[in-house]
Structure formats: structure tokens, C-alpha cells
Amino acid sequence: MGQRLDRYLAGLPEVGSRAAAERLLRDAEALQRAGVFSILLEAVPAETAAFVGERVDVLVYGIGAGPHVDGQLVISHDMLGNFVGDIAPRFVRRYAEVGAQVERAFSEYARDVRASVFPGPEHCYQIDAADEALIRAARQRPAPAVGATP
């Protein structure tokens, strides 16, 4: 399926035409008049982003908007390859494939919590033995009713 049809079916505006670039510029100008300090363009052609960025007096950042913007944003999950499913945004260069490692870490954490091996004594804050005994004894007494005064 082509980009135009994908965007149409998703309810997103077409961004690859001159008319679309003009509409985006009008929107950016309206945002500028409203007092924004920056604009974020996502998933638009590089030429469209340049066209808009050259005509407004606010910072223009891009996520998948090419190199001709004031700054680049990439979501860390995208950059690190930490995806759910087969997501592969065109505008992201994966610098690592940590998704499988993150999934493994969470699985091991859940397993250890369920097996009551985490947290262990080495992960707990120590207190004076006498204070610990006083608190343990207080735990044996019934808790006062909510709103009751001691």
C-alpha cells in the first residue's frame, strides 16, 4: 500500500504534494501567530519540512521530516530497537536491538518476584535490631480503624 493510501486510510492528511505543503505552512503560521516557541513535524517529506521551516520564525523540529529542520527527535524505544511486534519506522536508524534483552529482563524480574527470590535481604535497607523488633511487635497488633485517633 502506498504512503498516500496509508495516510488516507489512517485519517492523516496527505503530505507529499505542493497543496499539502501550503496547507502545512498555513497551519505553522497560525501556530506561530498563536505564540508557540516551536513546531514538531512528523513523517513529512524533507522538502515539505524545509519549505515550512524556511518560512516561519520559530524552531522546527522533525521526527522523520528529513535533515532540513532545526533539530531531530527520535523516540528512544525506536532508536534502540525496543519494539512490540514488527514495527520498523522508515525514519529510524536502529543503533541497537535491545527489545529482546528488555523482554528477557522483565520476564526474569517477574519470575523472581513470583518465586519470592526478589527482593532478597541484600536489596533491603537495614535498621537497628532493637527498632526492627519494636516494629515487628507493632505489626502484630491490629491496625486502628481509618480515621480513628490513637
Residues catalogued as catalytic: 42
Sign of the CA dihedral with 41 first, then 45, 49, and 51 last: negative
Lookup: cell for 4? 498516500
d(CA 45, CA 14) in angstroms, rounded, equals 11
CA dihedral 95, 100, 105, 107 (to 10 degrees): 160
d(CA 50, CA 103) in angstroms, rounded, equals 39
The answer to whether 17 touches 25, Cβ cutoff 8 Å, is no
Pick from 51, 62, 44: nearest CA to 22: 51
